[in-house]
Amino acid sequence: MNGVVIIDKPAGKTSHDIVSEVKKILGAKKAGHTGTLDPMATGVLPVCLNEATKLAQFLSGESKEYAATMLLGVKTDTLDREGKITAQSDKVVSDEEIKAALAKMVGKISQVPPAFSAVKYGGEPLYKYARKGVFLKTAAREVEIFNIAIQTISFPRVTFMIACSKGTYIRQLCSDVGDLLGCGACLIGLRRLRSGFFSEDMAVSLDNYGYAEKKIELLKKMLSLTKSLPLLAAMEVAEDLANKLRAGFQPSVEMMKAHVPPFLEAGDMLKFISYSGNLVALAEMIIPVNKFSEFDGKCQAGRIIRVFNISN
C-alpha cells in the first residue's frame, strides 16, 4: 500500500493526530504529512503512506491557497484566537485602509516565524520554548504572497483568500497587517484550499464515516505515487532498466536523448515510470537536454535522488 491520501482536516486536531489516524486505519508501516496545519485550521492535508513518504519533501515545497478570517483590534500571544489576549484596541479603520494594508503584503516579504510555531531551534520546535515562557528571536525568512482577494469586510472581521509560497504563516501576516493599521489583529479562521496539486475537492473527511467506511473511502481516493507528481516530466523505462535504476545506475545522455522532453534544463526534475505505470525513480537533470549533442553518450545526464522499490 503506497500512495497519497488527501484528508480534509477538522479543527481541533493536530496534523500528527490525522497522520496517526490514517496510519492506523490503513495499517501502514510509515506515514507522514507534507506540511503542518495548526489545530484550529481545517482543510487540505496530504498524507503520504509507505514508499510515498519519500515524496514528502517534493510535495511540501509547493504553493498553498487559504481562506482566512482576521479579527482587527485584538492581539494574542499565539497570533490566533487560541492564544491569550495581549492587547486590545477600539480604533476603527476604513475599508480602504484595510484593502491598502493587505495590498502591501503582496509580493516577496520577510516574515519572522511566530513564537508558537513548529520551526526548530536547537532541535526543539519554538512552541515548546514559548509554552515555558521563553520567546526566542529567530531570523526573518523571505516568503512570497502571490495574491490576496478580499471576500468580505464586516468590521472588525475581514475574510480573504490568499495564495502564497511554502513556509508562509497566515497568523503572522494578520499580525503584521494589524500593526500596519495601528489596531493589532489576530487570525480567527483558516482553511487550506489547496496544497500544490492537491485541492479540497480531492479530500476525504474522516468525520463522515465509520471505521470500515473510512478505510474503503481512503483506499478509493488514494493517489498512486505516479499520479501524485502529475506536473513532472516523465520517461518510461523497461523493467530491466527500472531494476538498474533502483540498483544505483545513473542515467546517461545516450539512454535519455531520445526519450525525454527537449525543454528540460539542468536542475529540473524528471520521473522514471515503468511500462506497468509504477514510479521507479526521481532524477535531477545535470545537463540540459538541448546540450546533449555536446556530450559523449556515456556522460551522466541526470542524478538519481530517490528510488521506489515497491509496486504502487
- For the question of residue 38 being annotated catalytic, the response is yes
Q: Which of 8, 17, 38, 179 is an active site residue?
A: 38
SS3 for the chain, per residue? CCEEEEEEECCCCCHHHHHHHHHHHHCCCCEEECCCCCCCCEEEEEEEEHHHHHHHHHHCCCCEEEEEEEEECEEECCCECCCCEEEECCCCCCHHHHHHHHHCCCEEEEECCCCCCCCEECCEEHHHHHHCCCCCCCCCEEEEEEEEEEEEEECCEEEEEEEECCCCCHHHHHHHHHHHHCCCEEEEEEEEEEECCEEHHHCECHHHCCHHHHHHHHHHHCECCCCCCCCCEEEEECHHHHHHHHCCCCCEHHHHCCCCCCCCCCCCEEEEEECCCCEEEEEEECCCHHHHHHCCCCCECEEEEEECCCCC
* Active-site residue set: 38
